[in-house]
Structure 1
Amino acid sequence: MNGDQLHQKAIEIASNLPFSQKTHPFGPEYEVFKILEKIFILTTEVAGVKMINVKCDPYKSQEYQELYSFIIPGYHMNKKHWISITPHRNLTSDLLQDLIHDSYDLVVKK
């Protein structure tokens, strides 16, 4: 999945979650999705690399980072509770959907 596909698919997934709201609190270049006024996904681009940030359970975060080279500590976020997902040929739509749904669920539960 390339950077454009990553952003498009992430936006599609986040838009279809119940009561999610797309906002632009950091400017038009960032797509931010919230549930209950809390962010659960943020699209961004850093040094020409498109990526998304999602909330993640700290234990799962460590596991994901060990399993997948394209999952790194959350760029410009709390590294314990957020991960960044970068484009990669091994990134599947199913994994992306699971990560976004988990982020959404973490925010709703809190």
Structure 2
Amino acid sequence: MKAEDLQEYARGRVEELPGAVLEHPFGPDWDVFKVRDKVFMLFTEVTGEPIVVLKASPDDGELLREQHEAITPGYHMNKRHWLTLHPDGQFQKLFVEDLVTESYLLVVESLPRAKRPVDPAVFGKVGR
């Protein structure tokens, strides 16, 4: 995997997620992806490499960090609830897409039902 593929895979998945928007509240060096004003993914290259920062449940995050050297605690985020994916991880496209979807759904689940753009219990489960 080329370094730029990591962010490309993640961005491609975001384009399929209802209600997802791109903002730059931290300046042009940070792409911040939100659903209903809540962050679920960030991109940056301020670390010297293109990284993707995603939300994860604490248990899943711990397991992923143990299994993959290229997954570390969230860069400048809560270390229990966020992960950083580094491009040297040789991640498959579907793996990256699934992590993006999970991050998105974790945020959607925390929204009031009336504000949810999808039902997190079934979204992404059919036809994938």
Please tell me the TM-score bracket, short chain as reference. Answer: over 0.9
Q: How does 1:34-73 map to 2 (within 5 A)?
A: 34-73=34-73
Deviations 1:20-62 (A, max 9, x none): 0111111122111100110000001243111010000000000
Q: Which has the higher contact order (CA 8 A, sep 6+)?
A: 1
Using the size of structure 2 for normalisation, the TM-score is 0.81
Percent identity, aligned pairs only, is 37
What CA distance in whole angstroms lies between the structure 2 residues aligned with 1:81 and 1:47? 20
Q: Compute the RMSD of aligned alpha carbons.
A: 1.2
Q: Which runs of 5+ in 2 are unaligned?
A: 111-128
What CA distance in whole angstroms lies between the structure 1 residues aligned with 2:47 and 2:36? 31
- 8 Å CA contact 1:15–1:22 kept in 2: the answer is no
Q: How does 1:1-110 map to 2 (within 5 A)?
A: 1-88=1-88, 90-110=90-110
Which structure's CA Rg is the greater one? 2
What CA distance in whole angstroms lies between the structure 1 residues aligned with 2:106 and 2:89? 27
Q: Which runs of 5+ in 1 are unaligned?
A: none
Q: Which has the higher strand share?
A: 1
